[in-house]
Amino acid sequence: MVVFLEAHVLSETHRREDFLFELPQDRIAQKPADKRDKSKLLVSQKQGEIQHCVFSELPGFLKTGDVLVLNQTRVMNARCYAQKENGVQIEVFILSIQCDANDVPVLLRPAKRVKPGMSLTFPRSGVVVEVISKADQGRGALKFESDQALHRVLECDGELPLPPYIKRESGPGDADKERYQTIFAKELGAVAAPTAGLHFSQDVFAKLETAGVTIAHITHHVGIGTFMPLLVDDVRDHVMDVENYTINPETALLLNQAKAEGRRIIAVGTTTTRCLESNYDGGFHAGNNQTQLYIYPGYTFKAINGLITNFHLPGSTLILLVAALVGRERILDIYRCAIESDYRFYSYGDAMLLIP
């Protein structure tokens, strides 16, 4: 199915209110499609034309020689529960494991009941930690006795941190434990799934290989910033959290060869996009790095030629990124078309392929 949208002159604005849209609550997906590759796929390859497909048809929209870059981070059981000495329960959301065990960044809830110097006990693992600092918005830091103790808490006391808009009365179920991870997840460290990758199946990978599409992997550990709302009127005033990423030598070489040969690089997900755009300075470089790159309209893309992504929250940093890629009016037209066409939104929702 092809839909033609009226062409608009791209305009640039930095007002948060200009990136808002009305989304019916019933469009927020509470569970994934029955099969990963049976979610819908909206394809926007040029101004004015939109195609409505199924994700399993993705290989037909790519070219021989294209490089598809996926994020192989694995979601950790970041949401944990500890107890104060008086038995009061405290939610501890572990933000990163790429840190010193003596200074682990966390979110604490209710934060007002926690003070520096206090001890917290994780009941299942028996691990005891010290609160070493507390800051605004519930942020703090804990001291673990070792990396092993930290990982023991994740394994014994943690649960998969489903986004707040996915409602579960008794926490994530067995289906979530499988479907909120990509089938290629490898490196533990994310607090949220790189959701564009959730649609890929072995069958899709086989079709991509047949089509002559090259697959590359990076690791970009998705941080809590992916859920942080924009609280500023001028979107330029927002500051992104620091996130860790890794590009291995094989991937850097592959991407540099693709650039030299004029082949397209298609990012799977906004985190992959930020990783590649952060890293590229005329070439890609292997190694472990950090990024706070914030992409909003006015940004000039240097590394990627297209993007596969899900549908994002109104007024979020993610919709700003896709607006930077194809234009604000264009992306809002696409979102309106998706709502009218019964697409499902957010982490367990449908996908779109954007080729500007």
**What CATH number did the domain enclosing 342 receive?**
3.40.1780.10
How confident is the model over 190-240, as pLDDT tens digits?
A: 999 999 999 999 999 999 999 999 999 999 999 998 778 889 999 999 999
User: Are residues 62 and 93 both part of a single domain?
Assistant: no
User: Are residues 252 and 329 both part of a single domain?
Assistant: yes
Residue 168 lies in a domain: no
Residue 7 has pLDDT above 60, yes or no: no
Write the DSSP symbol of residue 97: S
Residue 170 lies in a domain: no
Residue 3 has pLDDT above 80, yes or no: no
Residue 167 lies in a domain: no
User: Are residues 206 and 322 both part of a single domain?
Assistant: yes
Residue 139 lies in a domain: yes
Query: CATH no. for residue 101?
Result: 2.40.10.240
The answer to whether 79 and 180 have CB atoms below 8 angstroms apart is no
User: Are residues 315 and 277 both part of a single domain?
Assistant: yes
Segments forming the whole domain that contains residue 147: 79-159
What secondary structure does DSSP assign to 84-121, as a single string? -TT--EEEEEE--SSS-TTSEEEEEETGGG--TT-EEE
User: Are residues 191 and 282 both part of a single domain?
Assistant: yes
pLDDT of residue 220: 98
Percent of the chain with pLDDT over 90: 92
Residue 111 lies in a domain: yes
Greater model confidence, 13 or 248: 248
User: Are residues 89 and 46 both part of a single domain?
Assistant: no
User: Are residues 195 and 117 both part of a single domain?
Assistant: no
**Could you give the CA distance from residue 285 to residue 47 in angstroms, rounded to a whole number?**
33
User: Are residues 247 and 327 both part of a single domain?
Assistant: yes
Residue 184 lies in a domain: yes
User: Are residues 122 and 205 both part of a single domain?
Assistant: no
How confident is the model over 125-142, as pLDDT tens digits?
A: 999 999 999 999 899 999
pLDDT band with cut points at 50, 70 and 90 for residue 47: low
Give the pTM: 0.93
pLDDT of residue 46: 79
Among residues 132, 159, 186, the one where a domain terminates is 159
CA angle in degrees (0–180, nearest 5) for 244-246-252: 145
Task: Tell me the helix, strand and coil percentages in the chain, rounded to 5.
Answer: 30, 25, 45
Among residues 107, 128, 159, the one where a domain terminates is 159
pLDDT of residue 227: 75
pLDDT band with cut points at 50, 70 and 90 for residue 13: confident
Q: What is the CA radius of gyration of the chain?
A: 21
User: Are residues 83 and 198 both part of a single domain?
Assistant: no
Average pLDDT, the chain: 94
Among residues 159, 188, 212, the one where a domain terminates is 159
User: Are residues 70 and 196 both part of a single domain?
Assistant: yes
Residue 217 lies in a domain: yes
Number of folded domains in the chain?
2
pLDDT of residue 4: 35
User: Are residues 132 and 202 both part of a single domain?
Assistant: no
Residue 172 lies in a domain: no
